[in-house]
Structure 1
């Protein structure tokens, strides 16, 4: 089961830019909790709590019990707006959840047993295409993470969604193909060496080619240039 974190919040009475600025001056982040066919509730939270959650992996699929006074509501942290200069949180949105309601969440992908991958041991690189996968599920079945076992994978192997052991009732948002999550790419040095060799080959002059203009003539056997004509005597 996914982790549930309790967040203490304070009710806000007024909406609007002026009220939001006043909340920020007081050291809090204005926010709202909406959804589940209920009226939105205005609130404010400690910015340190918001930043702490954002710095932890998997916050997009983590469930939150948002406590405002005596009322506690289960929610997802949907969006955080930041100041363009200071990068401080300016506004936070929570989506209220209802039991059995289908929701869309981004679930973190975690890779296991890298040491047991022959491709990685040989110098290959794990090229992650998707660090998280968006899926449909209910609040009761939100996965904490998707684990992918790298055991036995070699250079050139591709990991698709079909390799993920998702719990029952979980379906990906991308439903029209078995999409790629990661690949085992060749070693970076090997690719760079091949590219350098190809560049050197294309830059080398062809055998027997004439020297560039202004260059010295090749030694041996070549005809000498005729001396310049002397000016006529007056």
Structure 2
């Protein structure tokens, strides 16, 4: 994906506010061999680009000052309640340097699995992305996980995922995180009919309920 950025001369709260009023979004690009550089982008074009999953997880081509550089989106700051992007950070990408990035997970086949089709399990997607380490050329747009073999009350963990060539899972602490779990639905117990003695009530109470009323 490609986008256009422009050099930004002024910085500070006041300058950034004026940029946003004029329909621009302040940002910065850093990393690689160059110095951090202040940039600005057209807000509407950026807003629509951010709605695409690939913009968050792919190597992007940034045109700046007539030159094209490969970058990766690193951070986005949104306004608390208005549809406004307040700031964006990009990192330059070196083709020879491994990088750490979060990659989205796409799931398929769960409706055909025995867990769903026969046992009527509910499939819980515990994780929707994983963090991996790889060279820029090996970065996938997403990782697809086939759940057609999911069985009753089974789980899929990070170690069960077959990562594409060149990718390594970045672990934070020990353990093997669960990615997907199949869970049996909770069946609600039926309430006793009105006037019927509750389950576990004393035998005398049940007998009284069955005994005919005495005539006066």
**With structure 2 as the length reference, what TM-score do the two structures score?**
0.83
> Is the partner of 2:53 in helix, strand or coil?
coil
1:206 alignment partner, one of 185, 201, 206 = 201
Count of residues in correspondence between the two structures: 205
Largest Rg, 1 or 2: 1
Q: Which residue of 1 aligns with 2:20?
A: 24
Taking the TM superposition and a 5 Å limit, the aligned residue runs for 1:180-199 are 180-186=178-184, 188=185, 191-193=186-188, 196-197=189-190
Q: Which runs of 5+ in 2 are unaligned?
A: 193-197, 206-210
Q: How far, CA to CA, are the matches of 2:134 and 2:113 in structure 1?
A: 31
Residue 167 of structure 1 pairs with residue 164 of structure 2: yes
> Is the partner of 1:192 in helix, strand or coil?
coil
Q: Which residue of 2 aligns with 1:78?
A: 74
Q: How far, CA to CA, are the matches of 1:144 and 1:177 in structure 2?
A: 26
1:145 alignment partner, one of 142, 163, 182 = 142
Q: CA deviation at 1:144?
A: 1.7
Taking the TM superposition and a 5 Å limit, the aligned residue runs for 1:1-234 are 5-122=1-118, 123-174=120-171, 176-186=174-184, 188=185, 191-193=186-188, 196-197=189-190, 204=199, 206-208=201-203
Contact 1:58 1:107 in 2 (8 A): no
Q: CA deviation at 1:131?
A: 0.3
Q: CA deviation at 1:124?
A: 1.7
Q: CA deviation at 1:152?
A: 2.5
Compared with structure 1, are the counterparts of its residues 58 and 41 closer, same or farther at alpha carbon in structure 2 (3 Å cutoff)? same
Q: How far, CA to CA, are the matches of 1:209 and 1:107 in structure 2?
A: 65
Contact 1:126 1:185 in 2 (8 A): yes
Contact 1:60 1:105 in 2 (8 A): no
Across the aligned residues of Structure 1 and Structure 2, the Cα RMSD in angstroms comes to 2.5
Runs of 4+ in 1 over 4 A off after TM superposition: 218-221
Q: Which runs of 5+ in 1 are unaligned?
A: 211-217, 222-234
Q: CA deviation at 1:209?
A: 6.9
Contact 1:146 1:164 in 2 (8 A): no
Q: Could you give the per-residue CA deviations for residues 57-77 of structure 1, whole angstroms, max 9, x where no partner exists? A: 244321111111212211111
Q: How far, CA to CA, are the matches of 2:24 and 2:178 in structure 1?
A: 41
Q: Which residue of 2 aligns with 1:232?
A: none
**With structure 1 as the length reference, what TM-score do the two structures score?**
0.77
Q: Could you give the per-residue CA deviations for residues 70-95 of structure 1, whole angstroms, max 9, x where no partner exists? A: 12211111111112231311111111
